Amino acid sequence: MTQKDLLHRFVFNEEHIRGEIVQLDYSVKALLNKGDYPAPIRDLLAKMASAASLLCATLKFEGEISLQIQGKGPVSYAILTATNTLTYRGVARWDETLEQLPQTFEELCADAVLVITLSPNEGERYQGVVALDKPSLAQCIESYFEQSEQLLTRVYLYSETEQDVKSGGMLLQVLPQSSEATEHQEAEAFHHFATLADTLTADEVFSLPVKTLLHRLYHEHDIELFDAEEIRYACTCSRERSLAALLHVEKSELLSIVEEQGEIAMNCQYCHATYSFDAIDVEALHAGNVATQNSASPQH
């Protein structure tokens, strides 16, 4: 059996091509358990979790990357956010008036776009948008790299959400080179490696150790496999972040809410943790003395 919730990076030593394989188990279970999602949404979120995990490995800064679907069709909103420390969280919204959701990606995400946002802790955000007009999420992400980065990229995404929930994926990408002749050579090698990767199955990704998987695909090539890194489901919400959001609301308005409702309750859209604040919290916050407030744990 393969280990769970790991990201594996590798490079082809004879070519300027890199790869990643991700295998998710407990973390994707935690993600999907945070909401009462119908089967097509569970499948979409599971694949988005693998995609975000693969893409966060490309980050060259401290911060996060988010994959956000915005649409007017069955799926109105879905987001997966992953950090450079290899944690992720996500949530989805859909048209709950539909008796049955479409089963295919194209129908589920009709009239929608994928927004990929890079958010460094320091520096400006970068945002790219690509239409969800391909048969799969993987192909749409490939289009994003082709349009915004001009990098040959192949993405494979797999999920099982009916029985034993799991998700996985693989990414191949050419590293940018300055020589036109070298780029042509790398393109030929890339298509060769991608053709071999096309034979990959979901069962292999879910069940095989990565060393075995890579040997089956590329036993004739020299590959350097780096140490695996753990990926976790983790929400970044906190009492402190909720307090910071309240600073943008007038003190009198906050006290009015406390008087009417007994408290101010703030709910995290991702993990559904609830942070509660009373009049003492509001007074301390607006006096700049937040350190004196109770560090109550979130309620789920």
- 134-176 per-position pLDDT tens digit: 999 999 999 999 888 788 999 999 999 888 899 999 999 998 7
Buried b (16+ CB within 10 A) or exposed e, 76-97: eebbbbbbbebbbbbbbebeee
- Residue 291 clears pLDDT 50, i.e. is over it: no
Which of 233, 251, 268 is the C-terminal boundary of a domain?
233
Domain of residue 287, residue span: 239-292
Q: Poorest-confidence range of 11-20, 36-45, 113-122, 173-182?
A: 173-182
Q: Can you list the alpha helix ranges (DSSP code H) found in the chain?
A: 26-32, 39-56, 105-108, 137-144, 180-197, 202-207, 210-218, 239-246, 251-261, 279-286
Provide, rounded to the nearest whole percent, the portion of the chain with pLDDT above 70. Answer: 92
Is 86 within 8 Å of 7 (Cβ atoms)? yes
Residue 21, both tokens: 């394989």
- Residue 293 clears pLDDT 50, i.e. is over it: no
* Span 14-42, average pLDDT: 93
- Residue 25 clears pLDDT 70, i.e. is over it: yes
Count of structural domains within the chain: 2
Residue 77: HSE in the Cβ half-sphere, 13 Å Cα cutoff: 5
Is 279 within 8 Å of 260 (Cβ atoms)? no
> 137-144 and 39-56 are packed helices; what angle lies between their axes, rounded to 10 degrees?
30
Q: Indicate which CATH number applies to the domain containing 213.
A: 3.55.30.10
| Short-list 107, 114, 105, CA closest to 68 | 114
Output DSSP code: residue 109.
Answer: T
On whether both 263 and 167 belong to a single domain, the answer is no
On whether both 227 and 259 belong to a single domain, the answer is no
Is residue 21 included in any domain, yes or no?
yes
On whether both 39 and 86 belong to a single domain, the answer is yes
State pTM to two decimals: 0.83
